[in-house]
Structure 1
């Protein structure tokens, strides 16, 4: 599951409509948040940014590579084997070095998309930004010659001695197209507002009418909603662009060997 359940704040808007009479700014802010939550869900739950603090668990060097796989010329634990000449030798199975790096690469995985890293704290000390970088997909790499802790005291609060915590913002950056889409949806919600009650105007189920030689046919709104669309041109254009397959959440690959970082949810 995702590490967040919705946008933390309303998306920025540039409203191109008049605010109905009788509405306060608090009502506008509330329905902007509703529009942001709807578009966040309809677009695949990937947009942010939203701050989160995690307590990573770094896998040891030996755990990153299956026991049957060996590589020579690397560092870490050694496994004895018999060569073709009958002599015993040692083979390293360390996974700290990647297939494209000649040096040890110490990293932890952050569930993403990672927008940016706000702080990294090890043993109560906040590291300078030059001590790490982020490689896709969500790999926090140590660059100052040190390595991330292999274990930490999960009973202690983050920021104390013996702890390791990363605060970063989760989610894809909002583009101008996203701002335009949420602005249009917010205006649509506000037009259906009146003092004492707000929301979308009820869509009639009428699909065709004939009167005095004039025929009118309206699209079935339930068909659009079933496809994850709204009937608003700019909103639907953005949704079909960023989420053409109608995914309800980001795709993931699960592994029984992967230990996700711990996220405190209460208090």
Structure 2
């Protein structure tokens, strides 16, 4: 009797651009979940985990980090061409990251402040998400990403289905945890109403207002949010700093026009 055909395992590639590596470390932290998953896939390229990296093509590529240098432009196009599916993970890859603060200032001044020899540094004037340069099949938010959502995304693409990732706000998660609303009960500024869920409302559960590390949700109403922050005692400058962090490019894109002083 003929042996059944052996189907090759799907090939996974994990790649880094401008980032802190935190989202890749989240994947490495999924020890218990990765053990059964590793039997179903071939981890062909993951420099954070192994020096044994293999060339493409890849069935699924996970990309962390923003496009911040000329070399990044060429590299992301090559990875896209070698990938059946490409998923961006984390705030840097989906929104440009905290380094996107350069988009609103003079990058030459930043470069001279950070580096002793700025003439040796090649960088772009902006830090942009991967989707600004190549087609992306899915964006997984967070700084860092949530391990449960990451496993869901990987298994979904290996099963040829859409990932089941909610697009509601952090407020829904607070209600599920039974967490008292910080702005209502204590007057603590919180970006929960406009922030994408995924963290499990971790900060509000410990008395700290959400600061938007998962970026704006699909139902964000920023014109209504700004007056609420002001009513909680935040100045115009405080509001600006509150929004201009990990997902500055995403939040800035939906901020209402500010009144002239």
Structure 1 length as normaliser, TM-score? Answer: 0.23
Structure 2 length as normaliser, TM-score? Answer: 0.23
Higher relative contact order (CA 8 A, sep 6+): 1
Q: Which has the higher strand share?
A: 1
Q: Which has the higher helix share?
A: 2
